Amino acid sequence: MQLSETYDVVVLGEVLIELSSTEPFRHGGLMRLGFSGDALNAAAAAAAAGARVGLLTRVATDQLGDLLVARIADLGIDTGLARRTAGHNGAYFVHADPAGRREFAYIRRGSAASQLGPDDVDVAEAAVVLASGVTCALSDSAAAAVATAAAQARCFIYDPNFRPRLTDAATAAARLRELAPRADLVTPSLDEAAALLGLTDPATIAEACRKMGARAVAVTCGADGVWLDDGVSAAQLPPVPPPVIVDQTGAGDAFAGTVAARLALGDALPDAVRQGMAAASAVLGIQGGCAR
């Protein structure tokens, strides 16, 4: 897939049909139809932060696919990199509550987006490329697409975004080690780092990621803010408290997408990270993973 024009940010990944509820799963429960997934959430955040964004994905050629592409456009994301293809769109059911106790049930094996591969990738002209461990977990070909994007990118951001229902910790850790040398920034959370690296101290996590080859590391620490290590200096950036917490889904995606946008638009890394923290805080006040 060729880039028809230059983007500030290109995000690789899958857009999911989202069926969400504030109640535990049960027969007859009410569900809300939407579209989400880490790639869409991050791309929407990047667009909201002022960037011209392309979402590199595959979308099934069915009615839900039409609605999905329309939603991408509604969020201010260019649809030129959303390739229509045979198959079905991935979906998930989620029950969320303000405390973050979430139940997920995925239907995504063999989805259209899992067919992403290296031949889909031509991102050398994008200012920043963002991909995640979720995309790597879709399929071997999708993981190869991420590796190709990392090799082509002028600036590559990798969010490990570990999901135990999609892959195991050993595989996710191997992906991180593979991609870190190509990454200008990696954005692990404390929980992810504990699972993938066996580490719980933010400074130690950042040091470990930089030893893998990452040029900078932003360890997201929930209510404690972000530990930022750019290889020259390191500091704990204080959190941006949300006015209300409704649902924690998508906060990390909003962080990564906003940081990508602000870096593409010329912000210094600490300023971009602070903007990302503010965006993540806003997402906590809505239901679902996308703040727009």
Q: What is the mean pLDDT of the chain?
A: 91
Pairwise pLDDT comparison (116 vs 104), residue with the higher score: 116
**pLDDT reading at 234 higher than 90:** yes
Q: Would the CA dihedral through 166, 214, 263, 268 be positive or negative?
A: positive
Greatest distance between any 2 Cα atoms in the chain: 55
Instruction: Estimate to the nearest angstrom the gap between the alpha carbon of 258 and the chain centroid.
Output: 10
For the domain made up of 9-283, give the CATH fold. UDP-N-acetylmuramoyl-L-alanine:D-glutamate ligase (3.40.1190)
**pLDDT reading at 288 higher than 60:** no
Mean pLDDT of 164-173: 95
- Determine which of 6-20, 68-82, 238-252 has the lowest per-residue pLDDT on average: 238-252
Residue ranges covered by each domain of the chain: 9-283
pLDDT digits (tens, 9 = 90+) for 237-257: 998 887 765 556 668 999 999
Contact between 153 and 11 under an 8 Å Cβ cutoff? The reply is no
Pairwise pLDDT comparison (95 vs 267), residue with the higher score: 267
Helices (H), the chain: 38-48, 63-74, 133-138, 140-152, 169-179, 190-197, 202-212, 251-264, 269-283
Helices 63-74 and 38-48 pack at an angle, to 10 degrees, of: 30
Residue in the structure block whose two tokens are 């082509």 = 152
pLDDT digits (tens, 9 = 90+) for 87-101: 999 998 877 655 555
Confidence of residue 285 (pLDDT cuts 50, 70, 90): low
Instruction: Estimate to the nearest angstrom the gap between the alpha carbon of 259 and the chain centroid.
Output: 11
Rg, the chain, Cα only: 17
pLDDT digits (tens, 9 = 90+) for 124-167: 999 999 999 999 999 999 999 999 999 999 999 999 999 998 89
Q: What percent of the chain has pLDDT over 90?
A: 75
Whole-angstrom CA distances from 231 to 21, 112, 201 are 42, 39, 17
**Half-sphere exposure in the Cβ direction for 1 (13 Å, CA):** 24
Mean pLDDT of 61-73: 96
Pairwise pLDDT comparison (193 vs 33), residue with the higher score: 193
Work out whether strand 217-220 and strand 226-229 pair parallel, antiparallel, or are unpaired. Answer: antiparallel
Q: How far apart are CA 167 and CA 236, in angstroms?
A: 30
Confidence of residue 30 (pLDDT cuts 50, 70, 90): confident
**Half-sphere exposure in the Cβ direction for 176 (13 Å, CA):** 29
Q: How far apart are CA 173 and CA 81, in angstroms?
A: 29
For the beta carbon of residue 26, count every other beta carbon within 10 angstroms: 8
